[in-house]
Amino acid sequence: MADEEDIILRDLSDSELIEQMHDDLYDGLAEEIHEGTTILLERGWDANLILSDALVEGMRIVGIDFRDGILFVPEVLQCADAMKSGMGLLRPILADSDTNSSVGTYVIGTVKGDIHDIGKNLVGMMLEGAGFEVIDLGINNPVENYLEAIDKHKPSILGMSALLTTTMPYMGVVIEELDKRGILKELPVMVGGAPLNQEFADAINAHTYGRDAAMSAELAKTIVGRNI
Q: Which member of 35, 117, 128, 136 binds ligand B1M (CB under 6 A)?
A: 117
Minimum CB separation from ligand B1M for residue 60, in Å?
A: 6
Q: Which member of 213, 217, 221, 224 binds ligand B1M (CB under 6 A)?
A: 213
Give 61-68's long-range contacts (Cβ < 8 A, gap of 24+): 61/22, 61/25, 61/26, 62/25, 62/26, 65/26
Please choose, out of 13-21, 89-97, 145-153, 163-171, the segment that lies near ligand B1M by the rule CB under 6 A.
Answer: 163-171
Distance (Å) of CA 210 to CA 1, 93, 102:
37, 22, 21
Q: Which member of 15, 73, 151, 182 binds ligand B1M (CB under 6 A)?
A: 73
CA dihedral 85, 114, 107, 53 (to 10 degrees): 40
**Closest listed residue to residue 213, CA positions, set 132, 125, 123:** 123
CB-wise, 113 or 169, nearer to ligand B1M? 113
Say whether residue 222 binds ligand B1M (CB under 6 A). no
> Applying CB under 6 A, what is the total number of residues that bind ligand B1M?
38
Please choose, out of 11-19, 36-44, 160-168, 174-182, the segment that lies near ligand B1M by the rule CB under 6 A.
Answer: 160-168
CB-wise, 9 or 126, nearer to ligand B1M? 126
**Closest listed residue to residue 45, CA positions, set 83, 5, 82, 93:** 93
CA dihedral 76, 23, 1, 87 (to 10 degrees): -60
Say whether residue 188 binds ligand B1M (CB under 6 A). no
Give 33-39's long-range contacts (Cβ < 8 A, gap of 24+): 33/82, 33/83, 33/85, 33/86, 34/85, 34/86, 34/88, 34/89, 35/1, 35/5, 35/6, 35/9, 36/9, 36/86, 37/85, 37/86, 37/89, 37/90, 38/89, 39/9, 39/10
Q: Which member of 21, 30, 54, 56 binds ligand B1M (CB under 6 A)?
A: 56
Q: Which member of 216, 217, 221, 224 binds ligand B1M (CB under 6 A)?
A: 216
Minimum CB separation from ligand B1M for residue 217, in Å?
A: 9
Q: Which member of 28, 159, 172, 188 binds ligand B1M (CB under 6 A)?
A: 159
Say whether residue 194 binds ligand B1M (CB under 6 A). yes
Say whether residue 113 binds ligand B1M (CB under 6 A). yes
Q: Which residues bind ligand B1M (CB under 6 A)?
A: 56, 59-60, 62-63, 66-67, 73, 76-77, 80, 108, 113-120, 122-123, 159-161, 163-165, 190-195, 210, 212-213, 216
